[in-house]
Each structure stands twice: as structure tokens, then as C-alpha cells.
Amino acid sequence: MYYSMFLLDKHVIIISMDTSYPNSYTSVQNHYAKRNMSKNNFSPIDDEYFTLWVLIAQTKDAILRIRERDYDQYNIKNERRAVIFAIVALGGQAAPVEIARFLFRKINSVTEMLKRMEQQGLIRKYKSSGKSKVNVRLTEKGRNTYTQSVQNTSDKRLFSILPRGQREKLKASLLKLRNEAARELGIQSHSLIFSPDFNCYRKTKH
């Protein structure tokens, strides 16, 4: 199997060229022919780095859609589950600024999300004596939501298509990319989970 990528009206289209299905590309051609596409609107993209970015973004979005489908019965969105995971990873309580840094989000958006999560009964706010005036902790409902998140079957079902060796290589590559992106944003990698020095950081912090 190989892939072809095109830019269509400022949208990226990735076409799977599966040799076991010889009509797959023809069906795509026919689909866009029906839309009366002109050659000027349908141009190939050869940039290796942009292609990697699109594949990573599409994979992340697709997996999130699957997770949302699996968790629909609980009526808690993925971004709120991410905040819950951040609180647990940061030791069970955290300041809003720590959560924002952990999730690569702006503090304002995290603050608004925390307000909605408090209304849902997922977190509780406490006064803090540190630099941050407020810390947040999970309620029992929040802890139950965390358990649901880590015990889901979709992650195992999807990632198990890769042999263990490939999964380890993928994790190492993603860690390297994530830490470099964090460095460019001025964020220390030890403040993030799944860093080589994360366990050491937790021991010194608490």
C-alpha cells in the first residue's frame, strides 16, 4: 500500500493506493470528476514534512473520534478527560497554569473548561498557599471518569495492529518530537508525563 496527497481547495486530501483494490484510485477520480474539478484546484503535495504533519493530525483526530464514540454514554468530552488525566499525572492536584502547560493550552481556555467541569461535578477547587491562588482536585466522579479513560478497549484495539517493537519505536519517536516542540514553546519536558526524567521529577517535587 502507498499514499498520494493532493491539495484541493486549500484542503489536504490523502488517498490510499491499495494495490489489492485496483479500483480504489479510480473511484476517487470519479468522485471528484463529478464535482467538475479543474486541474488548477487539484495539485500534488510533495513536501515530506507537511505530509508527516497531516498524517499525525489525521491519526490523532480519527482516534479521538473513536474514543468519543466509546465514551458517548458518559457525556464527557475528550478535552475534559485530558484535563482529568493532567490532574492525575501532576500528583492528584494542580494549579490551572500547570494544567495549561501540560496540555499545551492557553490559560484562559483551561480556566473556562475548569469552570464547566466544576459544574459537572468532576473537580473541586481549593485555595492554595503557593503562587497559584487556586488548586483543583478530582471528585469521586472525576476519579471514576479517569478509570474509564485508562481502561478503555479502543486504545488496545487500535495500537495492537502494530507489533510491540514498532509500538516502542513509535513511542520513542513521538516523545522526541513532543519534547522538541515543548522546547520551542519554552516548556520544560520534565513538567510533562512520559518524559525520560518524569519519575525523577515526581520524586523531587513531592
Per-residue pLDDT tens over the stretch 72-118? 777 778 888 889 989 998 888 899 999 998 888 899 999 999 999 99
For residue 136, what pLDDT is reported? 94
Is residue 156, in this structure, part of any structural domain at all? no
Is residue 102, in this structure, part of any structural domain at all? yes
Q: What does pLDDT average to over the chain?
A: 76
Q: What is the pLDDT of residues 29-71, one digit of tens each?
A: 445 445 555 555 555 567 889 999 999 999 999 988 888 887 7
Shared-domain flag, residues 140 and 175: no
Q: Which domain holds residue 10?
A: 2-68
Q: Strands, DSSP E only, in the chain?
A: 2-8, 11-17, 42-44, 93-94, 123-127, 134-138
Is residue 155, in this structure, part of any structural domain at all? no
Shared-domain flag, residues 33 and 79: no
For residue 190, what pLDDT is reported? 64
Is residue 98, in this structure, part of any structural domain at all? yes
Total number of domains in the chain? 3
DSSP per position, 96-107: HHHHHHHHT--H
Shared-domain flag, residues 173 and 126: no
For residue 151, what pLDDT is reported? 73
For residue 200, what pLDDT is reported? 39
Task: Check which CATH number belongs to the domain holding 142 and give it.
Answer: 1.10.10.10
Classify burial at 122, counting beta carbons within 10 Å of its beta carbon; exposed 0-12, middle 13-18, buried 19 or more.
buried
What band does 133 get if pLDDT is binned at 50, 70 and 90? Answer: confident
Reply yes or no on whether the pLDDT at 197 is more than 50: no
Reply yes or no on whether the pLDDT at 25 is more than 80: no
User: What is the radius of gyration, based on Cα positions, of the chain?
Assistant: 21
Reply yes or no on whether the pLDDT at 138 is more than 60: yes
CB-based contact 24:16 (threshold 8 Å)? yes
